[in-house]
Structure 1
């Protein structure tokens, strides 16, 4: 009887503990249903295979940029007031891996990007002109209304001294290419375009430029926006391009009749953020399935700067929080792209004066 009494007294406590465990398991079951719920912003990217804990069955991750400075590497990038799209792995069944950006593409549905004069100059100096045989180098750019002014150096036919070069002109959209066609060309401060036109010469007869996504033909520099940025290709349709005091604007438009993507960023997102919704994402070697990942500026009033190539540096000093619904919040501190060293490397690659 003495042994039975403690057991009888313990039964209510055991029942309470069992009840608490059961409640906990029920709550966990409900949470799991939320964690593994797929909400693709675009029905065209719904799961193509049965999902599980390690694979959502969906190829790609929904991408929403809102007031973000997005860089691919170094100082090459743009500002986006808003852009909606999809990060798509090149290999079916693989997650989107931020450590292997060359294995994915950005499929833009709609939105706008703006390249300011410095970002345009970085695109040329750090990528388009950054090869040993380049006959152009050290571009700097400024804007005069709807005209782009370019200062740099040219080595005609790839021989002799480097000469000061000045270009001025507008841009237009032609198919998948952005055309910069200067109507004023000066070498050593002497107007050259008129003289060249009199003898039937064009810039491409003096300077050769044929790089991934960039081509000089006649007097026009042609930039293919699908190919010209490093690391990742960009799909989508640009239906308008123009210059103003902010820079070069490219407006992406979805196909006529297609529904608008439906993103559901958290209310805590704030004014400047990157929202990654649904699909499988690999970041810091951590696999996040059924993604709900928010990258937001650390302080109100700041613009989020995100560099795809250096994402670990961008995020490593931030604060990460995981909510019960499985949402990852990352508060990102200010990040500065050091483009000075990249410009020096670019100049060294094409030789010294």
Structure 2
């Protein structure tokens, strides 16, 4: 009996040693993984942390941003398509994470890339934002492109008095510093009492209507759109070096500052043809703080661009599938947009923070 008890005690001790060694091995492996989780890899070598890093604060202000074949929306249908764009999401208050629940407290610093506003997106920008105030004398804009000309049809209430009348504009868009200037050289108001149709060539448009909104101003016969300020929620920094119109819409090409190096991003191999990659810095999503960010938002369907709406990001991401890889990367597959910019509901996975 004593021999049996001694054997059992020995087996128990050996089992405990084995368990301890397994725990030690797991802790060693976890330690190696943690070194990767809390390693800062900003896409610019000269983008330094402004304070000592910790588990809850990487010490870096801003998150590296890479868009690749993405439909980016700020709210509702207001946004653009980007074949590729590189830059930063930067909090307005130093020391704070980039919080997707407070987009008004961040700005986008574009280093380089291109965005395209389709005629529909341009129409949405006017109808849902620029002209969306009670005293507006312009409404119901529909924009289209004919060669290098931008055509506008809508309604005008001259001087804010009387009935709404059909309006037709035709002109070019020229880049002038921080402004995109729409210069209509054909202005027609239809259905003017006693006159039928009236061509207002030579008559200043601002003598009929007034328009002065954040990022948009009508002056003489020119509508100035400041691309830094005209979009809702988020300001955009960066320099547009050229713009042009074609069948796709209005193209804006951002260029790097003279002497600046290209940002170097390292998205995962499974990123696919359409994705948003967020690299380094601190990000807050769904009240989860992600430090030393490695976050991939990927289109679920490879044949459709990722559609991401910043204001309604919770609805967009909650309808997808989320996982956290061993290297600390948050990996989110986003379903395609449904009717009216909505999302198609699918089962969702679990997410966690480091």
TM-score w.r.t. the length of structure 2 is 0.92
Indicate yes or no: 2:63 matched with 1:46.
no
Contact 1:110 1:252 in 2 (8 A): yes
The equivalent residue for 1:343 is none
TM-score w.r.t. the length of structure 1 is 0.92
Contact 1:45 1:59 in 2 (8 A): no
- Give ranges in structure 1 of 5+ residues lacking alignment: 341-353
- Give ranges in structure 2 of 5+ residues lacking alignment: 192-196, 343-354
Q: What is the deviation of 1:191?
A: 4.9
Q: Distance in 2 between matches of 1:336 and 1:88?
A: 30
Q: What is the deviation of 1:48?
A: 1.1
Q: What is the deviation of 1:115?
A: 0.3
Q: What is the deviation of 1:43?
A: 3.0
Contact 2:86 2:113 in 1 (8 A): yes
Alignment of 1:1-353 (within 5 A): 1-2=2-3, 3-188=5-190, 190-194=197-201, 197=202, 201-336=203-338, 338=340
Structure of higher RCO (CA pairs closer than 8 Å, 6+ residues apart): 1
Q: What is the deviation of 1:45?
A: 2.8
The equivalent residue for 2:345 is none
Q: What is the deviation of 1:41?
A: 0.6
Q: Distance in 2 between matches of 1:191 and 1:24?
A: 81
Q: What is the deviation of 1:4?
A: 3.8
Q: What is the deviation of 1:5?
A: 3.6
Contact 2:91 2:105 in 1 (8 A): yes
Q: Distance in 1 between matches of 2:11 and 2:96?
A: 56
Q: What is the deviation of 1:168?
A: 0.5
Q: What is the deviation of 1:88?
A: 0.4
Question: Could you report, residue by residue, the CA deviation over 1:46-104 in whole angstroms, capped at 9, with x for unpaired residues?
Answer: 21111111101111111100000000001100000000010000111110000000000
- Which secondary structure state, in structure 2, belongs to the residue aligned with residue 302 of structure 1? coil
Q: What is the deviation of 1:192?
A: 2.2
User: Judging changes above 3 Å, is the alpha-carbon distance between structure 1 residues 337 and 122 closer, same or farther for their aligned structure 2 residues?
Assistant: farther
User: Judging changes above 3 Å, is the alpha-carbon distance between structure 1 residues 39 and 56 closer, same or farther for their aligned structure 2 residues?
Assistant: same
Q: Which moved more, 1:208-217 or 1:38-47?
A: 38-47
Q: Distance in 1 between matches of 2:341 and 2:221?
A: 29
Question: Could you report, residue by residue, the CA deviation over 1:172-196 in whole angstroms, capped at 9, with x for unpaired residues?
Answer: 10000000101111110735233xx
Q: Distance in 2 between matches of 1:323 and 1:250?
A: 36
Question: Could you report, residue by residue, the CA deviation over 1:217-268 in whole angstroms, capped at 9, with x for unpaired residues?
Answer: 1111100000000001000000101100100000101111100000000000
Q: What is the deviation of 1:13?
A: 2.3
Q: What is the deviation of 1:302?
A: 1.4
Q: Distance in 1 between matches of 2:218 and 2:90?
A: 31
Q: Distance in 1 between matches of 2:310 and 2:292?
A: 21
Contact 1:240 1:251 in 2 (8 A): yes
Contact 1:142 1:150 in 2 (8 A): yes
- Which secondary structure state, in structure 2, belongs to the residue aligned with residue 68 of structure 1? strand
Aligned pairs, number: 335
Q: What is the deviation of 1:337?
A: 6.8
